[in-house]
A and B are shown apart, each in its own frame.
Chain A
Amino acid sequence: MNQLVVETKDLFKIYPGVVDVHAVDGVDLQIEDNEFTAIVGPSGSGKTTLLNIIGGLDRPSAGSVKVNGHELSGMTDNELIDFRLKHIGFVFQSYNLIPVLTAEENTEFILLLQGTPKPERELRVRSLLKEVGLEDKLNSRPSQLSGGQQQRVAVARALASKPDFVLADEPTANLDSKSAENLLEIMAQLNQEEGITFIFSTHDQRVIDKARRVITLEDGRIVSDERR
């Protein structure tokens, strides 16, 4: 058995209201190193909430969430920010690059926050952008890139800090099919060749088809967990 990257136990996220909403309702989940996992389910099933909790962006109402053995629920806001910086890569649905920075600078951004020395930064950034096929777009700003290219920069940025895993929330949702295929190829390749763990939340059948494990959520609960 590979090392456990993510482990949740009896995880709940409840939004109080006239009627309490159980966005995550008692989820027990284990994700191992090198997995290529898709969390699927209809809208409102709790995919994004679960991903946010695993990524330390949101706090559970109850239960435990561990990333590489570190319990996240007890961490302060600043500890969580630091933890995310060092351990988790993010790819968001709407690209979310920094508009005033070039592709190279966007990718380098995380390394700068980590205080990585310049020669090492330059080497890693160029190698990553080459891996995602953007070695000729180093100096382009997000507004000069297509949606697919921006998302590839986001992948490069997510990988820059050598995270324990990458969380990708609907990464292909805003892409045309060719760009989506291209992005998925790159991520699958990174998973297979470099052993990078990817966890997706998605509706996209192409992502689901590529995933080696598909976890289905309904009403905040895991209703199926299929390994391929």
Chain B
Amino acid sequence: MMLLIQIAWRNVWRQKIRSLVVIIAVALGLFAGVFASAFVEGMMRQKIDSVIRLEMSHFQVHRPGFRDDMRANLFIEDVSALRQALKDEQAVEGVSERLLVMSMLGSANATGGITLMGVDPDAEATVTDLHTKVEEGEYLPANKRLPILISQEMAEKYKAHLRSKLVLTLQDVNGDMTAGAFRVVGIYNSGNNLFDEQHAFVRKEDLRQLIGIPVGVHEVAVLLNSHELAEPMATQFQQIFPNLEVLSWMDLASGMRYLVEAFGAYLYIIVGIILTALLFSIVNTMLMAVLERVRELGMLMAIGMNKFRVFGMIMLETIFLAMIGGPLGLLLSWAAVAYFGKYGINLSGAAYGEMGFATIIYPYLDASSYWNVTVMVIVMAVVAAIFPAKKALSLKPAEAIRKI
């Protein structure tokens, strides 16, 4: 075996430029595929984090039907049992009980529909990062009367600024129209334009008075200590509270389940396509190498090198080509992912923000993905080796020796 490895290795370097071209092609192809995948993976992770840490938390509890048209009278009247059950669960990191209504927001300059969230600022801070996203003013202070936190997008649209008065018009619990004047105390920017366009925050007790719900909440948002627990925990709480609707973030955020599953396969699809293209390049190179060495291969078989060894030698040469380029590409990818994973890629000029994605992307790829890509490279190398190796086996020594 050492003999075969030695000969195969030296054969790789007989045509240095040709071998280097293939090695570089494999390295760059793999780098492109892995980095593109890490970019998408990073983008998705940020999207998931944003969905969880800003919009959905890990799971939410509602009255059945509330999510259909957000009617104010569909609230959970008694939250105590749910509150206790959540308190007993170790995986729960934070709970926010919210009131939630569709509202018209009006300023002196514009009017538009928004989702108004009534929150307890301290409890909300245990579930979302909203308090860290305030760019101007404060985060719903207790000492101000009827404060409202709006987004930068809203501030621009409604030409509002700190201390501007905004009028909220909405339906109360009886379905009657009611209105309240709130003063802007803070302006936030979550980096997710879609979210920002739509959401404004007031104190829960202020909203409670406005819509006339003395007790109870519309929504209980729960943050866990692990993303992976979201679905099992939602299922568990649904079983405990069958009269309520308990949904994980994957089911709450429209299209997220599809998106996560689709992008989960992205790495393997893109790397698979690149490796398939590289496979043909390697087959071509190795086929040339075999056809150039017909006489030599014939001589090897003539003097006693059996077919298994000839096959193995060509396989090894092909595998060497791929396995030098492969790790090189993976190393490049790892370095690029590590660098940009730390410093980010600023795409604020692109339209990612408009689609609800972060504008600074931090590429990410977990260790198992590198391992899986390595396995894909090995499989590609072995597949690429088969045809040239079989071609070598088809040679007849007596004829091959006489080939010029």
Is A112 touching B3 in the complex (CB atoms < 8 A)? yes
Is A92 touching B401 in the complex (CB atoms < 8 A)? yes
**Binary flags per residue of A93-136, CB closer than 8 Å to B gives 1, else 0:** 01010111100000001101110000000000000000000000
Q: How many residues of B contact A (CB 8 A)?
A: 22
Which chain B residues border A101 with CB–CB below 8 Å?
A: 7, 10
Is A82 touching B398 in the complex (CB atoms < 8 A)? no
From 51 to 92 in chain A, residues with beta carbon under 8 angstroms from any chain B beta carbon are 52, 55, 57-58, 77-78, 81-82, 84-86, 90, 92
Is B304 touching A57 in the complex (CB atoms < 8 A)? no
Is B307 touching A81 in the complex (CB atoms < 8 A)? yes
Complex CA distance for A157 and B296, rounded to whole angstroms: 15
Is A84 touching B10 in the complex (CB atoms < 8 A)? no
Is A113 touching B398 in the complex (CB atoms < 8 A)? no
Q: Which residues of A does B touch, CB under 8 Å?
A: 48, 52, 55, 57-58, 77-78, 81-82, 84-86, 90, 92, 94, 96, 98-101, 109-110, 112-114, 157-158, 161
Give the nearest-CB partner of A114 in chain B.
Answer: B304
B302 at the interface (CB under 8 A from A): yes
Complex CA distance for A51 and B301, rounded to whole angstroms: 16
Q: List 24 A-B contacts (CB under 8 A).
A: A48-B402, A55-B302, A57-B398, A57-B401, A77-B307, A78-B306, A78-B307, A81-B304, A82-B304, A84-B302, A84-B304, A85-B304, A90-B299, A94-B295, A96-B299, A98-B7, A98-B299, A98-B300, A99-B14, A100-B7, A100-B14, A113-B3, A114-B304, A157-B303
B169 at the interface (CB under 8 A from A): no
Q: How many A-B residue pairs have CB under 8 A?
A: 63
From 219 to 240 in chain B, residues with beta carbon under 8 angstroms from any chain A beta carbon are none
| A81 in complex: contacting residue of B3, B305, B401, CB < 8 Å | B305
Is A109 touching B14 in the complex (CB atoms < 8 A)? no
B397 at the interface (CB under 8 A from A): yes
Which chain B residues border A113 with CB–CB below 8 Å?
A: 3, 304-305, 309
Is A92 touching B299 in the complex (CB atoms < 8 A)? yes
Complex CA distance for A101 and B302, rounded to whole angstroms: 17
Task: Say whether, besides A57-B302, A157-B303, A52 and B398 are in contact (CB < 8 Å).
Answer: yes
Give the nearest-CB partner of B9 in chain A.
Answer: A100
Is A81 touching B301 in the complex (CB atoms < 8 A)? yes
Which chain B residues border A57 with CB–CB below 8 Å?
A: 302, 397-398, 401
| A100 in complex: contacting residue of B10, B295, B302, B306, CB < 8 Å | B10
From 287 to 311 in chain B, residues with beta carbon under 8 angstroms from any chain A beta carbon are 295-296, 299-307, 309
Is B401 touching A96 in the complex (CB atoms < 8 A)? yes
| B303 in complex: contacting residue of A58, A85, A99, A100, CB < 8 Å | A85
